[in-house]
Amino acid sequence: MKKYSLFVAVLSVSTVLLAQKPAKDWHYSAPSKKNMGISVYEAYQSAAAQVKPQPIVVAVIDGGTDINHEDLKDVLWTNTKEVAGNGIDDDGNGYIDDVHGWNFIGGKDGRNVGADNLEKVRVYKKLRDQYQSISFDSMDYDSFTYANPNYMVYEGIKSEIESTREGSLQGMQQLEKVLEMLNKLRKESGKDNPTAADLKEMKSDDPFMNGLAQGIAKAMEKDKTNSSFEAIYNEIQEGYKAMDIRANYQYNPDYDSREIVGDNYANSSERYYGNSDVVGPDASHGSHVAGIIAATRGNNIGLDGISDAARIMVVRVVPDGDERDKDVANGIRYAVDNGAKIINMSFGKGFSWDKAAVDSAVAYAGRKGVLLVHAAGNSGMNIDMEPNYPNDSLWGGQVFAENWIEIGASQPALKALATDFSNYGKNNVDLFSPGRDIYSTIPNNKYEYFNGTSMAAPVTAGVAAFVWSRYPNLTAVQMKTILMESGTLVKGKAILPGTKKTKIKFSEICKSSRLVNAKNAIEMAASMSK
């Protein structure tokens, strides 16, 4: 890799760190052209909200949650029938020591799945075992592919998987060189975390090192959010780790995490496996989701979650890779059976291994009156045209789950309300919700801004919990109706996600053409509950 490219790589990371963030609670305000909030403050002041809320259990099916976080530890669902740490299934539900939830991607020996394959890699591996030794001697290619339609799927993803893995391996090598350069800068400056002034004063025998030092110093001086050399170094180090995960786990067809879990993966009906470690090796995403919904209100630390009555049940099924359908199905069933009224699912993928198992669990949740809130995904694509799993289309579209609500991600400005990354769909995305620069909890009593439909879904789930806790006589289908029909109507055009300038009517990318609105929702619920 050329030294110039290394220089660009470092400075590009520095530039990212300069971005200004909005107010931590920007989305709690009433909607305006420049700040399309969801009226959380107004909702709490509404006469309709002056009803004593009842605790409501919200299951966060995700990658794990920090149950010891200062802003989360007091809002957790607790299984009072279970004695923590005694190694006995006290309540007889099949899950030992499930005090705050369950982990379906852990083993009985206490080990946990961290990174895992993408679903298309699992599909590729299955088809590779079937087709890699195929000979066309007795049948021409066209006849063979007609008789074996899955072969075309195999051919279609084979080159992508192989090239992506190779590119990730090369990326690791490149970022390793960048880190070497930064370590050399540290050594020559004599400091582990040199300031901009330290770098500007540094003199090296290598002209490239002098240029790199001056470039980073200039970037740091422009930063108004107190970026540092250490922050830049850590960002590049995180990039290296991400490449490592892509190359050796997500896109590696020879890696199999189920050796850790120890289940019979082929048996979709198997339910009792995993362990009670609901935190897992990386609880950042799940903790952020949980905080959006229910971070302790009024404690003057961190943030106030949207709901003041939600109790977070932690269900771990999502690795650093694609979740498995068997685990998702079991996660839904566990949440339903243990009292969840709302299930937040901030995950998704482009392939499904065992959709029937998930469909069955979704239908089960529907029969039990549980609302499922699902993030639409972050690929900037039309999910009316391209599949995104899981979804509300059950058994090939023969039935649609009425208790399922699909959420796209919005940002502050009305003129560009849909984020550039959000998936969309006139038929399949029900509602939009704030998903840009959302501030919430992350592990070790810390807080951070995240982007994604993964954040938009829990904003909606939090509103649902706020409303439903006050009007528990409503059904899940009524709650979905309230959320969709009470939202702020978006009449104009928005920039089509995935493009920079293409404008389209908001009604063409969202079924309700609305942005969730907490005040309108609580008032509609009060009226409907009568």
Quick: pLDDT tens for 426-444.
999 999 999 999 999 999 9
Per-residue pLDDT at 133 = 78
Tens digit of pLDDT for each residue in 137-188?
A: 656 777 777 778 888 888 889 999 999 999 999 999 999 999 999 999 999 8
Confidence of residue 136 (pLDDT cuts 50, 70, 90): low
Tens digit of pLDDT for each residue in 113-135?
A: 999 999 999 999 999 988 887 76
Whether residue 291 has pLDDT greater than 90:
yes
What CA–CA distances, in Å, run from 490 to 91, 514, 523? 48, 5, 19
Cα dihedral: 31, 35, 39, 42 (round 10):
-90
In sequence order, the β-bridge partners of residue 484 are none
Per-residue pLDDT at 228 = 86
What CA–CA distances, in Å, run from 415 to 241, 500, 506? 37, 12, 10
Per-residue pLDDT at 20 = 72
Per-residue pLDDT at 225 = 57
Q: Is 371 left (phi over 0), alpha (psi -120 to 50) or beta?
A: beta
Among 524, 505, 98, 18, which Cα is nearest to 340's? 98
Q: Which residue has the higher pLDDT, 266 or 215?
A: 266
Sole residue written with tokens 């909030």: 37
Residue 15: HSE in the Cβ half-sphere, 13 Å Cα cutoff: 7
Distance CA 150, CA 218 (A): 54
Per-residue pLDDT at 12 = 56
Domain map (residue ranges) of the chain: 34-114+264-529, 119-250
* Terminal-residue alpha carbon distance, the chain: 69
Q: Which two tokens stand for residue 62?
A: 């995700």
Mean pLDDT, to the nearest integer, of 488-495?
94
Mean pLDDT taken over the chain:
93
Distance CA 301, CA 304 (A): 8
Among 331, 297, 341, which Cα is nearest to 55's? 341
Per-residue pLDDT at 4 = 44
CB 486 within 8 A of CB 521: yes
Confidence of residue 11 (pLDDT cuts 50, 70, 90): low
CATH 3.90.320.10 given to domain 34-114+264-529: no
CB 456 within 8 A of CB 446: no
Tell me the residue type at 213.
Answer: A
Residues 6+ apart with CB under 8 A from 210: 202, 203, 204
Burial 386-422 (b: 16+ CB within 10 A, else e): ebbbbbbbbeeeeeebebbbbbbbbbbebebbbbbbb
Per-residue pLDDT at 1 = 40
Judging by beta carbons within 10 Å of its beta carbon (0-12, 13-18, 19+), is residue 135 exposed, middle or buried?
exposed
Confidence of residue 35 (pLDDT cuts 50, 70, 90): very high
Q: Which residue has the higher pLDDT, 232 or 392?
A: 392
Residues 6+ apart with CB under 8 A from 258: 265
- Calculate the CA 65 to chain-centre distance: 12
CB 319 within 8 A of CB 290: no
Among 456, 504, 509, which Cα is nearest to 38's? 456
Tens digit of pLDDT for each residue in 495-522?
A: 999 998 899 999 999 999 999 999 999 9
Tens digit of pLDDT for each residue in 329-352?
A: 999 999 999 999 999 999 999 999
Tell me what percent of the residues of the chain surpass a pLDDT of 70.
95
